[in-house]
Amino acid sequence: MTSIYETTILVKPDLANDQLKNLNLSIDNFFSENKVSIGYSEDWGIKNLKSSINKYSKASFKFMRFNSSSDFPKKLDSFLKFNTDCLRFLITKSE
C-alpha cells in the first residue's frame, strides 16, 4: 500500500548552478531507481534561517510530494544523510 509523503530539503546556498542541477538530477534519479513518482515539486529559493546550520545563515529550500511504500522514506533518509550538499531535511507522512 502506498502513502503520500512530503519532504523539505535545505541545501547549501553557495552551490553553483551546475552543482544544484547535479543535486536535483541525483535526487530525481534516486526516486526513479526506486520506482517512486514525484507528484509535486517546488523550489522555494534561498531563505534566511532563524539559526545558522553549519555556519550557514541562509539555505536554498526544495519541497517535494510523492507516493511511495512505507520503506522508501528510510531509504531517502539514508540517501540525504550522506549528501554533503544537504544541510537539513524533513520527511513527513501526509494524511
Tens of pLDDT, residues 32-72: 999 998 999 999 999 999 999 999 999 999 999 999 998 99
Is the CB of residue 94 less than 8 Å from the CB of residue 65? yes
Is the CB of residue 88 less than 8 Å from the CB of residue 60? no
pLDDT of amino acid 17: 87
pLDDT of amino acid 58: 95
Query: Which residue in 33, 35, 31, 27 sits closest to 60, CA to CA?
Result: 27
pLDDT of amino acid 63: 96
What is the phi/psi pair of residue 46, to 5°?
A: -90, 130
